[in-house]
Amino acid sequence: MTLLVVHAAATLLLGGLIWTIQLVHYPLMDGVGEASFRQYHERHTRRMTWLVAPLMPIELVTSALLLFSPPASVPPVLPWVGFGLVLCIWAATALLAVPAHRRLAEGFDPAVHARLVRGNWLRTIAWSVRGVLALWMLVAQRAA
């Protein structure tokens, strides 16, 4: 049960964070202004790192552990789907978000910003589905 709770906590925290980023932080970037954008972006990424740096590895590890020791009451497909979504999130982070942020660290670029916002929907949806799966596993465990 502890594994599921830690897993769900990390997933739900990241899910809430990604919705905040998608609906608040990223859309506001285009209003910062060229003169202060680099400083704003550096502060944004530094502060976000403090949140995601511990949570994403916790989610990854607990998700992998659930593959090898799923609670008996949890349908076996749920940890596999959840782990697949974690891999999608990590891939989208590495292939879409990180390159966009590296480019934006040099200064605001409307095209890169638009790609970042569009591409981030993949992570937003994946974390939302993961949140539902994590809650589903908790409910299944609790009902057993």
Question: For position 70, what pLDDT does the model report?
Answer: 87
- The type of residue at 30 is D
Across the range 24-35, mean pLDDT stands at 91
Helix/strand/coil for 33: coil
Question: For position 33, what pLDDT does the model report?
Answer: 85
72-97 tens-digit pLDDT: 888 899 999 999 999 999 999 999 99
* Residue extents of the structural domains in the chain: 2-143
Give which of 58, 129, 117 is closest to 88, Cα–Cα: 129
The whole-model pTM stands at 0.92
Question: For position 41, what pLDDT does the model report?
Answer: 95
Across the range 128-144, mean pLDDT stands at 90
Across the range 1-21, mean pLDDT stands at 95
Across the range 45-68, mean pLDDT stands at 96
Question: For position 144, what pLDDT does the model report?
Answer: 61
Share of the chain above pLDDT 90, in %: 87
Greatest Cα-to-Cα distance within the chain, rounded to the nearest angstrom: 58
* Residue labelled with tokens 């972006």: 41
